[in-house]
Amino acid sequence: MSSTSSSSRTISRWSDLRSALAGEERDWTRVAPKRAVFLLAVPMMLEMVLESVFGVVDVFFVARLGPAAVATVGLTEAVVTLLFAVALGLATATTALVARRIGEGKRDEAAVVAVQALALGLGLAAVFGAGGLLGARHVLAWLGATPEVLTVGTAYTRILLGGCGSVFLLFLGNAIFRGAGDPAVAVRVLWTANLINLVLDPCLIFGLGPFPELGVTGAAVATVTGWTIGVLLLLRLLATGKSRIRISLPFLRLRTDVAARLLRVSWGGILQYLAETGAWVALVRVLALFGDTALAGYTVAIRIVAFTFLPSWGLSNAAATLVGQHLGAAQPAEAERSVWLTARYNLAFLGSVGLAFLAVPTLLLRPFIQNPEVLAVGVEGLRWIGLCYGFFAVGLVAIQAFNGAGDTATPMRLKVLCYWVFQIPLAWALAVVAGLGPRGVFIAIACAEILLAVSGVVLFRRGRWKVKVV
* Residues of the domain holding 240: 28-467
Position 443 in a domain: yes
Position 2 in a domain: no
Alpha helices, DSSP H, located in 143-163: 147-162
Q: 1 pLDDT exceeds 50?
A: no
Position 95 in a domain: yes
Q: 283 pLDDT exceeds 80?
A: yes
Position 18 in a domain: no
CB 253 within 8 A of CB 107: no
Cα angle 167, 169, 171; round to 5: 65
Q: Domains in the chain: how many in total?
A: 1
Please tell me the least confidently modeled range out of 49-58, 115-124, 256-265.
49-58
pLDDT above 70 as % of the chain: 93
Q: How far is CA 155 from the centre of its chain?
A: 25
CB 250 within 8 A of CB 108: no
pLDDT confidence bin for 432, thresholds 50/70/90 = very high
Position 14 in a domain: no
Position 21 in a domain: no
Residues found in the chain: 470
CB 91 within 8 A of CB 174: yes
Q: 374 pLDDT exceeds 80?
A: yes
Q: Taking the CA atoms of the chain, what radius of gyration do you get in angstroms? A: 22
CB 96 within 8 A of CB 320: yes
Position 395 in a domain: yes
Residue partners of 411: CB distance under 8 A and separation at least 6: 268, 269, 272, 399, 402, 403, 456
Give the Cβ contact number of residue 432 at 10 Å: 15
C-alpha distances in Å from residue 421, one per residue of 255, 361, 428, 446? 38, 30, 12, 15
Position 343 in a domain: yes
pTM of the full structure? 0.78
pLDDT confidence bin for 298, thresholds 50/70/90 = confident
Residue partners of 319: CB distance under 8 A and separation at least 6: 37, 338, 339, 342, 343, 397, 400, 401, 404
C-alpha distances in Å from residue 51, one per residue of 39, 54, 80, 190? 19, 6, 14, 7
Average pLDDT score over the chain:
86
Per-residue pLDDT tens digits for 238-281:
888 767 788 888 888 888 888 899 988 888 888 988 888 788 87
